Amino acid sequence: MSVLIKNGRVVTAADDYHADIYIEGERIALIGKDLQVNADKVIDATDRLVIPGGIDAHTHFDLPFGGTHSADDFETGTRAAAWGGTTTCIDFALQTKGESTLKGLDTWHAKADGKATIDYGFHMIVTDMPDERLPEMERLALAGVTSYKLFMAYPGVLYVDDGTLYRAFRQAGENGTRIQMHAENGIVIDEIIKEAVRDGKFEPKWHGLTRPTRMEAEGVHRSIAIAEVAKVPLYIVHLSCSDALDEVKRARMRGVDVIAETCPHYLFLDMDYYFQEGFEGAKYVMTPALREKWNQEVLWQGLAMHHLETVATDHCPFCMVGQKDLGKESFTKIPNGAPGVENRMSLIYDGGVHKGRMIVNRFVEITSTSPAKCFGLFPRKGTIAVGSDADIVVFNPNRTETISYDNKRTHHMNCDYSAYEGFEVTGWSEVVLSRGRVIIEDDSQVTQGGGQFIKRARCGELLR
Ligand code: URP
Ligand code: ZN
Ligand code: ZN
């Protein structure tokens, strides 16, 4: 199968020019002006941007959490991602405490195998790491799992102590791999939650009110200090606020290898959402919690100024009926997480480029190129170049849509609400190709399945 994308404006993290792109099989074969080649399929990209497919480096499909499972599995989640212009997700395999991380990886392969429509990789959530299990980390790297998430939050569930952090950080550093940190002081937050519960405070808003930004900043500070001593590249996931960003900036100024990600919900939503009528606030119960609105502009600025390097969704959907309502009696029982994998590209283009906060190259960088570079996918993915996978989005910078659960173009996630209900966005992924296969075209999905597991490279290595 060959595809010719004609007359588009090709935008990468570095370039911006008009050209045709010829795809042979799964990869880009030629880029040039007025290419005179025959192709099985021709796509006219006049007045459209032609950008690398989005890479969402933080999704949770089929994750057991909070007494239930996240509502999207690898079939529905990757399909929704494709609708939104994302062509690679990096999801999280989970180590069961006391068991092998390799067993966790097998479990996640079984969940994903044959189901995905776009390509995917795995980070490994490490829940314990005694000395005798440290060699597993090299075996994970050889299996293409070159990043490991550890949690300072969720005591009794995913939380690990500082000794475990240090051991895992040291080993990851020696192996040339990366650590991801859920940075929140979960031990103190649990005490604050106990105080609230003791005082009879059970509504969803108390989720937001029991997780101060200082406790996130403290986690960021501590994990950076441990990473510095352990000599491992660090990646702070889902950074939500100015307090935490200050810690990242300070460390980067000293030359520490720390990169931070934020998420669309911290850029578009704020803690007032917890104060909605009745149980509505449960839709936004995620960790870290939504913050005071003024933080949003600080995060946008952080993205434009390269203090924040990526935007990922932390897509972890739970339906209001049958899942979020497990916490009807107490916010402590509401499963943490929200949907978003489908909306990221449009939201960030709209808030970033359309609203004048960043240039279009930076949009491509934070949604595709930077995650590819951070997580060992570049240059196979994350750019438009001869030899790269033909993961390409023909993007209409002028098309406006209103995101809604009821809008059949904006909601394919298996979740009974949209976190961005009623948001009008300008910028739309019209044609989506994954390794040369057209997945989305003319507002319909034309290909199902075919996504592959991608073995990722180590830090500083290229993936070809
Ligand atoms: O609320 C969230 N973020 N749920 C997913 C798990 C995590 O901490 O990333
Ligand atoms: Zn987390
Ligand atoms: Zn997450």
pLDDT, tens digit (0-9, with 9 covering 90-100), for 316-339: 999 999 999 999 999 999 999 999
In angstroms, rounded to a whole number, what is the distance separating the alpha carbons of residues 65 and 157?
A: 9
Ligand 1, atom nearest to 151 Cα: 8
Q: C-alpha distances in angstroms, 84 versus 209, 340, 361, 396, 430? A: 32, 10, 19, 12, 9
Residue 350 dihedral angles phi and psi, to the nearest 5°: -65, -55
Beta-ladder partners of 124: 93, 148
CA torsion 333-335-336-338 (nearest 10°) is: -140
Ligand 1, atom nearest to 338 Cα: 1
Contact 344, 420 (CB under 8 A): no
Q: Which tokens is 159 given?
A: 């939380």
pLDDT digits (tens, 9 = 90+) for 158-215: 999 999 999 999 999 999 999 999 999 999 999 999 999 999 999 999 999 999 999 9
Q: For a ligand 1 pocket test, name from 147, 274, 316 the mutation site with the most ligand atoms within 8 angstroms of its C-beta.
A: 316
The DSSP code for 463 is: B
Q: Which tokens is 36 given?
A: 């005179």
Beta carbon of 158 within 6 Å of any ligand 1 atom: no
Which residue has 């074969």 as its token pair?
A: 29
Residue nearest to atom 3 of ligand 1 (CA): 287
What's residue 415's pLDDT? Answer: 98
What's residue 333's pLDDT? Answer: 98
The DSSP code for 457 is: P
Beta carbon of 211 within 6 Å of any ligand 1 atom: no
Residue nearest to atom 7 of ligand 1 (CA): 287
Which residue has 């296969």 as its token pair?
A: 437
Residue 114 dihedral angles phi and psi, to the nearest 5°: 80, 0
Beta carbon of 337 within 6 Å of any ligand 1 atom: yes
Burial level of 384, CB count in 10 A (0-12/13-18/19+)?
A: buried
Which residue has 């979020």 as its token pair?
A: 324
Q: Which tokens is 103 given?
A: 């067993």
> Chain centroid to CA 44: how far?
30
In angstroms, rounded to a whole number, what is the distance separating the alpha carbons of residues 81 and 42?
A: 24
- Tell me the pTM: 0.98
Residues 6+ away with beta carbon under 8 Å from 290: 208, 240, 265, 266, 269, 270, 271, 273, 274, 284
State the distance between the two ends of the chain, measured CA to CA, in whole angstroms: 21
Beta-ladder partners of 31: 21
Contact 138, 144 (CB under 8 A): no
In angstroms, rounded to a whole number, what is the distance separating the alpha carbons of residues 427 and 346?
A: 5
Residue nearest to atom 4 of ligand 1 (CA): 337
Of 301, 290, 381, the C-alpha closest to 90 is 381
Ligand 1, atom nearest to 158 Cα: 8
Strand 86-94 relative to strand 119-125: parallel, antiparallel, unpaired?
A: parallel
What's residue 55's pLDDT? Answer: 99
Contact 29, 37 (CB under 8 A): no
Beta carbon of 223 within 6 Å of any ligand 1 atom: no
Contact 348, 367 (CB under 8 A): yes
Ligand 1, atom nearest to 287 Cα: 1
Beta carbon of 182 within 6 Å of any ligand 1 atom: yes
What's residue 222's pLDDT? Answer: 98
Burial level of 355, CB count in 10 A (0-12/13-18/19+)?
A: exposed
Residue nearest to atom 5 of ligand 1 (CA): 337
Of 389, 456, 458, 433, the C-alpha closest to 121 is 456
What's residue 22's pLDDT? Answer: 99
Q: For a ligand 1 pocket test, name from 69, 181, 286, 334 the mutation site with the most ligand atoms within 8 angstroms of its C-beta.
A: 286
Task: Describe the strand order of the beta sheet including 119-125 as a list of residue ranges.
Answer: 54-59, 86-94, 119-125, 147-151, 178-182, 234-236, 258-262, 310-311
Residues 6+ away with beta carbon under 8 Å from 350: 425, 426, 427
In angstroms, rounded to a whole number, what is the distance separating the alpha carbons of residues 441 and 127?
A: 41
Contact 287, 316 (CB under 8 A): no
Q: Which helix (H) or strand (E) holds 373?
A: helix 370-374
State whether the Cα torsion 63-68-70-72 is positive or negative: positive
Rg over alpha carbons for the chain, rounded to the nearest Å, is 21
- Weakly modelled stretches of the chain, pLDDT under 50: none
